[in-house]
Amino acid sequence: METFYLLCAALGGTVILLQIGAGLLGFGADHDTDTDTDAGADGDHDHDSFFGALSVRTVSAALAFFGLGGLTARYYGADELPALGAAVASAAAAFYAVAFVVRSLSGLKADGTARIERSVGRTGSVYLRVPGTRSGHGKVQVAVQNRTVEYQAVTAGPELPTGSPVRVVAVLTADTVEVEAA
């Protein structure tokens, strides 16, 4: 039985090392897409279940710790059945610990998109002059979400020369704002 435990530990450890190596080389990146679909089913699905946690990471960690737990129990003189129990307990603990860590880390994702709607009320400066009375577009730079963003701009008031301080009063399109002198 020790050979089986050693084989499990070696196989699981090898897969873990390959995952680490692939991650260091850039091959382990998650390519995630967000989808909002509603199939109309009223079924209650538990995504925190065993099958929701199944992944190569969790299975390889469980396999490695199954082998290590069994080897450790046998090293300290445990009989076959208690050693198997220790191996299964080690595998279950590793499986759920890795699943918990992966799920916790996936919650740290951040969308780096600067939302133009958040620029309303913010101040900035004119980058390229903004013609008066909505007769043309200029450009402004506004601090939004801890970054400086450049938008096309129009104004209902008089012309705003380059460098003038402005305040965003409305969003007109996906890349155009209306500004006024600040």
Residues 13 and 54 occupy one common structural domain: yes
Amino acid present at 75: Y
| 132 plus 92 within the same structural domain | no
C-alpha 79/C-alpha 107 separation (Å) is 42
Q: 170 lies in which domain range? A: 116-181
First to last CA, the chain: 78
- 12 and 95 share one domain: yes
Residues 61, 150, single domain; the answer is no
pLDDT of residue 110: 72
Give yes or no: residues 123 and 59 share one domain.
no
**Is 138 part of a structural domain of the chain?**
yes
Q: Indicate the number of domains in the chain.
A: 2
Considering the domain architecture, whether residues 76 and 95 belong to the same structural domain is answered as yes
Low-confidence ranges of the chain (pLDDT < 70): 28-51
Residue 124 maps to which CATH number? 2.40.50.140
Q: Are residues 97 and 127 in the same domain?
A: no
Q: Does residue 139 contact residue 125 with C-beta atoms inside 8 Å?
A: no
Q: Is 42 contained in some domain? A: no
Choosing from 106, 125, 140, the residue where a domain stops is: 106
Predicted TM-score (pTM) above 0.75: no
Q: What is the pLDDT of residue 36?
A: 46
* Residue-wise pLDDT tens digits, 39-63: 444 444 445 566 677 889 999 999 9
Instruction: Report the alpha-carbon distance of residue 101 to residue 113 in Å, rounded.
Output: 26
Helices 2-24 and 56-75: crossing angle in degrees, nearest 10, is 140
Give the pLDDT confidence score for residue 48 in this predicted structure. 54
Same domain membership, residue 69 and residue 20:
yes
Residue 166 shares a structural domain with residue 79: no
Q: Per-residue b/e over 80-104, b at no fewer than 16 CB within 10 Å?
A: eeebbebbeebbeebbeebbeeeee
Q: Decide if 139 contacts 153 (C-beta within 8 A).
A: yes
